[in-house]
A and B are shown apart, each in its own frame.
Chain A
Amino acid sequence: MDTLIQVSSSILLLIGSFLCLSGGVGILRFPDFYTRMHAVGVTETLATTMILIGLILHNPDFLVDVKLVIILLMTLFISPTASHALANAAIHNDLSKQKNDTSDSGVKPSKP
């Protein structure tokens, strides 16, 4: 039982780290602001969830587990909201139009 919990927590941690990494690759490689934001916004929530669940399984201390669950709930609320606010601000300021004006800016980092 103990090994099962250890292995599953390790697998969850690994998946979480992989998702973080893929989000990082996405923010560097994707062409414009919205796709980049999508790459991070989607992976980040799942990656944090995976890592936190992995840590909860890893840790036997009840009080620490409760704190981790609270952090998890907070993240599940805050991180999609932050992505939404970012995208909303971009639409509000007509970022797509500015992109079209300088059409060859795929390589340059976009400034939100």
Chain B
Amino acid sequence: MKDLLAVVMLLGIYSLLSASFFVLMDAVDVAFTEAAVGAGISTLLMLLAITMTGRTEHPTRHKPLLALAVVVVTGSLLIYGTLDMPYFGSAEAPIHQHVAPRYINDSMQEIGVPNIVTSVLASYRAFDTFGEVVVIFTAGMGVLALLSTVRRSEDNETIDSFNQSMHEQHLILRIVSKMMIPFILLFALYVQFHGDFGPGGGFQAGVIFASAIFLYTMLFGMSTARRVINQSFIQILAATGVLLYGSVGVVSLLNGKEFFDYSALSADPVAGQHLGILLIELGVGITVAAVMVIIFFNFADRRGYSPDKESEDL
């Protein structure tokens, strides 16, 4: 397939299908993440990249036989590996024997959060999640280091004239989106703070929050979005989220417990766990949203520098 747009669309459909598949397997949190990140944000970012690189793939001169051979060998090795795995869904499988019974039986007394996924993700496995947040933060910093450019200074007149032409072209889109954006932001906050009780959490909420900002930027132009959202403020926010997460761990250290043992945060251990999970989910949400916005803004900025400089509508 030579048309990259079609490839990206197929990838998005694949993500959405696997999200529905996860729902069928009762993994609602994973499905939520897959739908928000896989089908939503990454499709958008790849579309943005395509607007810079061009829509069609360059013709290759060599036959990709070696690549095909590597894929076939790796695939058959993986399938061979699955032969040793326990039967799907069998109760004797190691994953159902090791820590899962403890999570299911004790997490309500220890953590007191109805959504076990959240208590595993944010409390039992807080180290892993901290690592993930740091990875996201690093990705954002990498994009900043590679793509960050000197900001073009545009005077208000060009912005206004550009705004006017956009306004005529996308009137309906603009009006409907203006109505929708507050609800998207509200929904993101709901997902953020309802993560203890239902599917959701910082990752999904951050991505949804960022997607509202993407929508605004696509319809109202980079320059207008820059006036609304300060770039350096966003960078500080990205660091603040990671710091908030880490400092919760440090506070529990200082109170004489282990790193990320939230029971130290309050006199009542369960209340401490609640507070800790709320804080670190907030940190995750802030970092994810800020990093997504950083990546998007830097991609979109590069677009302005491309040789065939078109109008900025996406």
Kindly identify which residue among B3, B6, B169, B176 contacts A77, using a CB–CB cutoff of 8 Å: B176
* Interface set, chain A 70-104, CB cutoff 8 A to B: 74, 77-78, 81, 84-85, 88, 92
The reply to whether the CB of A108 lies closer than 8 angstroms to some CB of chain B is no
Contact in complex: A81, B176 (CB < 8 Å): yes
Residues of A contacting B172 with CB < 8 Å?
81, 84
Contact in complex: B173, A84 (CB < 8 Å): yes
- What's the least CB distance linking B228 to chain A, in Å? 22
CA distance A92 to B169 in the complex (A): 9
Residue of A nearest to B177 (CB): A81
The reply to whether the CB of B179 lies closer than 8 angstroms to some CB of chain A is yes
Contact in complex: B3, A81 (CB < 8 Å): no
Kindly identify which residue among B5, B169, B176 contacts A78, using a CB–CB cutoff of 8 Å: B176
Residues of B contacting A84 with CB < 8 Å?
172-173
Total interface residues on A, using CB and 8 Å? Answer: 9
Name the prevailing secondary structure of the A interface residues. helix
CA distance A27 to B15 in the complex (A): 22
Name the prevailing secondary structure of the B interface residues. helix
- What's the least CB distance linking B2 to chain A, in Å? 11
Contact in complex: A111, B6 (CB < 8 Å): yes
Contact in complex: B173, A77 (CB < 8 Å): no
CA distance A78 to B173 in the complex (A): 9
CA distance A97 to B186 in the complex (A): 43
The reply to whether the CB of B180 lies closer than 8 angstroms to some CB of chain A is yes
Residues of B contacting A81 with CB < 8 Å?
172-173, 176
CA distance A88 to B172 in the complex (A): 10
Per-residue contact bits, chain B 149-186, to A (CB 8 Å; 1 contact, 0 not): 00000000000000000000110110010011001000
Residues of B contacting A111 with CB < 8 Å?
3, 5-6
CA distance A111 to B173 in the complex (A): 22
- What's the least CB distance linking B101 to chain A, in Å? 31
CA distance A41 to B5 in the complex (A): 21
Residues of A contacting B5 with CB < 8 Å?
111
Residues of A contacting B179 with CB < 8 Å?
77
Residues of B contacting A77 with CB < 8 Å?
176, 179-180
A/B interface sample: 7 pairs, CB < 8 A = A74-B183, A77-B179, A81-B176, A84-B173, A85-B173, A111-B3, A111-B6
Q: Which 9 A-B pairs have the closest CB atoms?
A: A81-B176, A84-B172, A85-B173, A77-B176, A81-B173, A81-B172, A111-B3, A77-B180, A77-B179
Binding site for A on B (CB under 8 A): 3, 5-6, 169-170, 172-173, 176, 179-180, 183
Q: A77-B179, A88-B170, A111-B3 are in contact. List 9 more A-B contacts (CB 8 A).
A: A74-B183, A77-B176, A78-B176, A78-B180, A84-B172, A84-B173, A85-B173, A111-B5, A111-B6
